[in-house]
């Protein structure tokens, strides 16, 4: 355990920050640009992973386990969220034979 913490700390904190910011921004761009519902969900996952990385890095630097515990919760909850999300996408596919979010225009006003 100590060993891992030291290894994490071997890389400067700034690097983690930059990497996770990049991941996060890529995720946001993906959500905004892509039209495929599954890809959008994947982009959200990318954002969540950016969060996880950040939390783990902070946690290691501060020597406080709370951040890492948070990561486990995020992973579990994200799995649940994706399960529901994918189920909904399947429903959409059955209805429209497509998972393009541009087709979602019945509800307007």
Partner 1 sequence: MMNNLNATVLLEQITGSLPYFLPEIVCSLVFIVAIFIDLFTRKQSRSLVPFFVFAGLLLALFFTLDQFRMVKEEIWLFNGMIRLSPAGIIYKLLFLLAAMVTHILSIRSKAIRLAPKGYAEFFIMLPVFIVGLNIMSMSSHLLMIFLGMEMVSIASYILVAYMAEQPRSAEAAVKYALFGALSSAVMLYGISLLYGLTGTLSLQGSTFLANLSKAPEYISALAILMVLAGFLYKISAVPFHFYVPDVYEGTPAPVIAFLSTAPKAAGFAVLFTFIGVFTLPMESYHLVWPKFNWENILVFISICTMTLGNLSALAQKNVKRMMAYSSIAHTGFMMMPLLVFSEMSAASLVFYIVVYVLMNLAIFLLVGHMEDAYGATELESYKGLAAFNPLLSVCMVIVLASLVGLPPTGGFTGKFLVFSSVLEAYRISHNPWLLYLLVAAVLNTVIALFFYLRLPLYMYFRKAEKIYTSKTPLYLLVIMCLLVAGILMAGVFPSELVKWISAHTAETAQIRFK
Interface with partner 1, residue 109, by CB under 8 A = yes
Chosen residue from 14, 84, 97, 102 binding partner 1 by CB under 8 A? 84
Q: Least CB distance from residue 11 to partner 1, whole Å?
A: 15
Q: How many residues interact with partner 1 (rule CB under 8 A)?
A: 42
SS3 state at 36 = strand
Name the β-bridge partners of 32.
none
Residue with tokens 């399947």: 90
**Per the structure block, which two tokens stand in for 1?**
């355990």
> What is the Cα–Cα distance from 38 to 33, expressed in whole angstroms?
13
Residue 49 near residue 29 (C-beta atoms within 8 A) = no
**DSSP 8-state assignment for residue 103:** G
Chosen residue from 1, 10, 14, 107 binding partner 1 by CB under 8 A? 107
Binding residues for partner 1 (CB under 8 A): 24, 27, 31, 37, 40-41, 44, 47-48, 50-51, 54-55, 57-59, 62, 64-67, 69-70, 73-74, 77, 80-81, 84-85, 87-89, 91-92, 95-96, 101, 104, 106-107, 109
């Amino acid at each position: 355990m100590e060993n891992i913490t030291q290894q994490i700390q071997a890389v400067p904190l700034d690097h983690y920050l930059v990497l996770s910011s990049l991941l996060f921004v890529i995720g946001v761009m993906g959500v905004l640009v892509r039209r495929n519902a599954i890809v959008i969900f994947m982009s959200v996952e990318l954002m969540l992973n950016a969060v996880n990385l950040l939390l783990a890095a902070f946690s290691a630097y501060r020597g406080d386990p709370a951040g890492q515990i948070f990561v486990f919760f995020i992973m579990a909850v994200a799995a649940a969220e994706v399960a529901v999300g994918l189920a909904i996408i399947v429903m959409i596919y059955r209805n429209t034979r497509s998972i393009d979010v541009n087709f979602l225009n019945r509800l307007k006003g």
